[in-house]
Amino acid sequence: MNQEQILAKITAMVDDERQLRDALSSGQIDSDTEHQRLGQLERELDQCWDLLRQRRAKTEFGENPDEARVRPASQVEGYQS
């Protein structure tokens, strides 16, 4: 995935988060469903942001950004920016 694709995926997931919150507030889903789906989205977002940071760092230091890889959610969760 290149930088533009990663940013597009992040934007789509942020839109999904908004839709989930709207669905909860309108009563279309319950809070357990929202919580479960938001948890998954947050893990995927963490992975996308991490991948984007890896690509940018590799570019900055003259390495090939295409060598950046998605790391497991357990590894990227809880990173501080």
Neighbours of 51 (CB within 10 A): 21
Residue 5 has pLDDT above 80, yes or no: yes
Confidence of residue 80 (pLDDT cuts 50, 70, 90): low
Cβ-based neighbours of 10, under 8 Å, separated by 6 or more: 45, 48, 49, 52
Write out pLDDT tens, residues 31-78: 999 999 999 999 999 999 999 999 999 999 999 999 999 999 989 886
Task: Give the pLDDT of residue 77.
Answer: 80
78: left (phi over 0), alpha (psi -120 to 50) or beta: left
Write out pLDDT tens, residues 63-73: 999 999 999 99
Cβ-based neighbours of 66, under 8 Å, separated by 6 or more: none
Task: Give the pLDDT of residue 1.
Answer: 87
